[in-house]
Amino acid sequence: MTLVDRPLVQYAIDEARAAGIKEFIFVTSRGKGALEDYFDHAPVLEQELRKKGKDDLLEILKDTNMESGAIAYIRQHRALGLGHAVWCARRLIANEPFAVILPDDVIAAETPCLKQMVEAYEEIGGNMVAAMEVAPEKTSSYGVLDIKEDMGSVVSVKGMVEKPKAVDAPSNLAVIGRYILGPSVLRNLQQLKSGAGGEIQLTDAIAQDIGSDVPVSGYRFKGERFDCGSKAGFLQATVSFALSRPELRDDLMSYITKVAQVDKAAE
């Protein structure tokens, strides 16, 4: 899916690179071969762009290229949940900390969300999840944090509940699709059975470390999150990201103003 003029996955890669990450693992499913092709070099196209002097397009194309050995693909044969998808990459991750990005969660931020988290993680360690406040009636769509201590940007976590009803939610601080995790989470996933929705939940594996010598924390990132897995969220992201582009802003704003005036007149 393309947001303005780049696939969602490119935004995820750019955010990870800004955080200093240089090695990438994609967990994919059947029919996602286009993803592998997207990150490959296209010598013929690059030569044509260079010949025609289209340097701007050439630079955009280079951003999609990945060096040999920097990227790996793992196939998830059955859709058994996010926790299972992460577990599929266990042999490549081995015994190191790793980040998880869900590309359909797009975050517009002055400092990329994952970079904010890495800077906080360097002081705290353990397991860290991105978090944001949501309306109480929306908690059933998220993993929700039970807060032990609120320190502002960082909260210490004493529990995590996957998709609770509003009356059962311990807070309205929800987990968003950015994680920095330690190898203990992979060991926990090895032992897990299906959780909420019949899937192997990543939050359940993280929650198993609570109370151990591995701290679990939530990080309130600075930025605006768009759920591009929903139609409304994707449309909102398209408008927001287009308005942030100088070459698109004026024409789009003019159109939005015109539509708003028509709607107001119709009332």
Residue 156, strand partner residues: 149, 217
- Say how many C-beta atoms besides its own lie within 10 A of residue 14's C-beta: 13
Q: Show Cβ contacts of residue 103 under 8 Å, excluding neighbours closer than 6 positions.
A: 8, 9, 11, 12, 177, 228
- Compute the mean pLDDT over every residue in the chain, rounded to the nearest whole number: 87
Residue-level pLDDT at 29: 81
Buried b (16+ CB within 10 A) or exposed e, 201-238: bbbbbbbbbbeeebebbbbbbebebbbbeeeebbebbb
How high is the pLDDT of residue 151? 93
pLDDT at 122 over 60: yes
167 pLDDT above the threshold of 80: yes
Residues 61-94: pLDDT tens digits? 566 666 666 788 888 888 888 999 999 999 999 8
Rounded Cα–Cα distance for residues 100 and 103 (Å) = 10
3-class secondary structure per residue, 178-192: EEEECHHHHHHHHHC
Q: How far apart are CA 156 and CA 1, in angstroms?
A: 35
- 133 has which bridge partners? 173
Q: How many residues does the chain have?
A: 267
Model-level pTM? 0.85
| Residue of 17 and 68 predicted with greater confidence | 17
Q: Is the pLDDT reported for residue 108 higher than 90?
A: yes
Mean pLDDT of 167-177: 93
252 — pLDDT class (breaks 50, 70, 90): very high
Distances (CA, A) of 217 to 51, 94, 211: 51, 22, 12
Domains of the chain listed by start with CATH number: 2-229 (3.90.550.10)
